[in-house]
Amino acid sequence: MPLTRKIKFGLFPKFLLFFLLIAIIPLLLIEYLTYNGMKDFRLQVVNQSKSIITKLSTENIRQKATDTAKQISIYIRFMAKEQRKTAGLPKQVSIYFKSNGDIPVDKLKNDPYLKSFAVQPVGKTGYTAVYTSEAITIFHKNPKIVGFDLHKLKKKFPNFWKIMEASLKGPSSGYYNWKDIHGKIRKKYMYCSPVEGTNLHVAATTYLDEFFGPITELEKTAVSQQNSIMFYILIVSVGLILYMIIFSYVYARSMTKPILHLADVADRISVGDLDAEVNVKTSDEIMILAEAISRMQKSLKSAIVRLREKRKKGR
């Protein structure tokens, strides 16, 4: 007699769900940790590389400013000395120095040789510029800026002016935002160095992200490799999940099938079918249950036989 009772959530789905959970959840967790580990490592490498590049690039900008300042100082002193010697002028008289030691700006602006090394490239788009202690530019990449009063940038570019103002008292440096030719706001670094023995200062500045080109390419390559690795891991994971589903299904089926068979045998015995065959081939606790049902079946047969014999004798 077949079983008619309906089971809402039996052992088979429980076994299946259990095996899938203990197999798939750790796998997904490992994938998640692997992805985040690779991502954290990539970000760590990129950040450390950017830190090193930033340090080297800012040092390069500082060196450019100080070297240019030294060149200007040496040139002005040499030319002043040569001019005085040639013209027989007193020590304090020169077109390169006023009597109070200041530089005659109007005279210097017309010195093409001085301008050639006063404005030098820094990075791809950066440059050096020269300005006076009154914050007036005398050498600049853009001719329109020559003679410009830098005080006018105080409100519009406060961070820029903060560095510039500090440079009037000595060497200074810092970061500030600047709009490039495409209208994009980008971070710049500037180092300002005084020109020794003069009232001049040299500023060297450029966009820092110009130095990050190799790092950007490295990051793109790392992301591409990470995605490739995760793709292969995903393919393997899908294969493992399919294998686990099939294995879990077969295993759960092998666990519940003998139980259902024994339930069917017990149900048949309950209605008097003592010849129902117990056909279970396992070597676990289910076999013990099958043997117990088989012994019960034999005991019931023996009891019925004895009962029939007693009835025959009673007649």
CATH code of residue 68: 3.30.450.20
| Residue 70 belongs to domain spanning | 45-214
Q: How far apart are CA 100 and CA 106, in angstroms?
A: 16
| pLDDT tier for residue 263 given thresholds of 50, 70 and 90 | confident
How far apart, in Å, are the Cα atoms of 163 and each of 151, 190, 191, 242?
A: 12, 8, 8, 63
Torsion angle defined by CA atoms of residues 189, 194, 195 and 198, in that order, rounded to the nearest 10 degrees? 140
Identify whether 315 is part of a domain.
Answer: no
| pLDDT tier for residue 293 given thresholds of 50, 70 and 90 | confident
Specify the residue for token string 């500030």.
Answer: 176
Identify whether 286 is part of a domain.
Answer: no
Identify whether 263 is part of a domain.
Answer: no
Mean pLDDT of 115-143: 90
Q: How far apart are CA 96 and CA 78, in angstroms?
A: 10
Q: What is the mean pLDDT of the chain?
A: 81
Token pair, residue 145, equals 């800026």
pLDDT, residue 314, reads: 66
The answer to whether 104 and 198 have CB atoms below 8 angstroms apart is: no
- The amino acid present at 94, given as its one-letter code, is S
233-242 pLDDT per residue, tens: 888 888 888 8
The answer to whether 95 and 192 have CB atoms below 8 angstroms apart is: no
141-159 pLDDT per residue, tens: 988 888 899 999 998 889 9
Residue 136 φ/ψ, nearest 5 degrees: -110, 125
pLDDT, residue 99, reads: 44
| Report field, pTM of the whole predicted structure over 0.75 | no
Radius of gyration of the chain from Cα atoms?
45
159-168 pLDDT per residue, tens: 999 999 999 8
DSSP conformation letters of 110-147: T-HHHHHHHS-EETTTEEEEEEETTSBEEE-SSGGGTT
Identify whether 61 is part of a domain.
Answer: yes
Identify whether 289 is part of a domain.
Answer: no
- Domains in the chain: how many in total? 1
Identify whether 100 is part of a domain.
Answer: yes
Identify whether 257 is part of a domain.
Answer: no
The contacts of residue 93 (CB under 8 Å, 6+ apart) are 84, 99
Identify whether 79 is part of a domain.
Answer: yes
